[in-house]
Amino acid sequence: MISAFEGWNDASQAASEVIHYLISHYESRLVYEINSDGYYDYQSTRPMLCHITGHTRIIWPHTSFYEIQLSPTVQVLAQIAPEPNYHWKDYCAEVLRTAQAFDITHIITLGAMYASCPHTRPLPIDISSATCTCELDREYNGPIGITTVLDQMACKTGAATTSMWVSIPEYMDTDICAQGTLQLMHGLSTLLNTPLDTKDLQSKAEAWKTKAATIAACDDSLSSYVTRLEHEYDLAQHARTVASPGAPQAEQLVKEAEAFLKRMEP
């Protein structure tokens, strides 16, 4: 099952757009919904008024599950919903009962967060897997979203879980980030060992990068900030390469990293 939630876990809608993209580009069908009553504060997650073929309809916040056929041999259950406001444990228990009804044994949660990263480099992707609660988020202390709660409760049922987050440049927090969605799709393709069609995302991702470049070029302070982020990104990449198996020892790593940083200074 692939799960994404709109709201706090979904910077620039990069994660939820993965589900919407899969639904629109592959054979899919709605198979189940969770009622919104008791889970949402309608003043913060408001119902929507919709006019369809002359009829007026109120669309309430809700959770939808779709069966999606990604290939002749690969079918997934996709979950999309706004992040609930209340009763997270009850909500996740209901999600997991639904997953069990569809014989789901592996849950992949998607997320996106704003971070200090440049638009000119591949957006950082963090993928973590666990089979028990003690393995989840061992190095993080701080606020969490519904995805972490779902991951940990899923572990208690014996399901395998994988969490995949993409980082979005914090200075691009007003636009839908197709580049983030594209990179989550690439990660998902690897996890599922299934090629995914991303043709329609490629052009949108290029348009996003072009707009980011224009915004940076028109603001000297932002341009300097992006340059600094590029230096830090390249240094970190270089350090990871040097520290890879079979590479020089720590002392040599420090020397090369210092030399690299000096070369990068303006």
**pLDDT for residue 255 is more than 90:** no
List of residues 6+ apart from 160 with CB closer than 8 A: 105, 106, 107, 129, 130, 131
> What residues make up the domain containing 223?
219-264
| 126 shares its domain with 250 | no
Average pLDDT over residues 88-97: 97
**pLDDT for residue 134 is more than 60:** no
In a domain, 231, yes or no: yes
**pLDDT for residue 259 is more than 80:** no
In a domain, 194, yes or no: yes
| Closest among 61, 110, 99, 107 to 81, alpha carbons compared | 61
pLDDT of residue 105: 93
Indicate which CATH number applies to the domain containing 174: 3.40.50.10900
| 194 shares its domain with 229 | no
| 41 shares its domain with 130 | yes
What pTM did the predictor assign?
A: 0.86
State the Cα–Cα distance between residues 177 and 179, nearest whole angstrom: 5
Residue after which a domain boundary falls, among 146, 167, 198: 198
pLDDT of residue 133: 45
Lowest mean pLDDT across 51-55, 68-72, 204-208, 238-242: 238-242
pLDDT of residue 265: 56
State the Cα–Cα distance between residues 188 and 165, nearest whole angstrom: 11
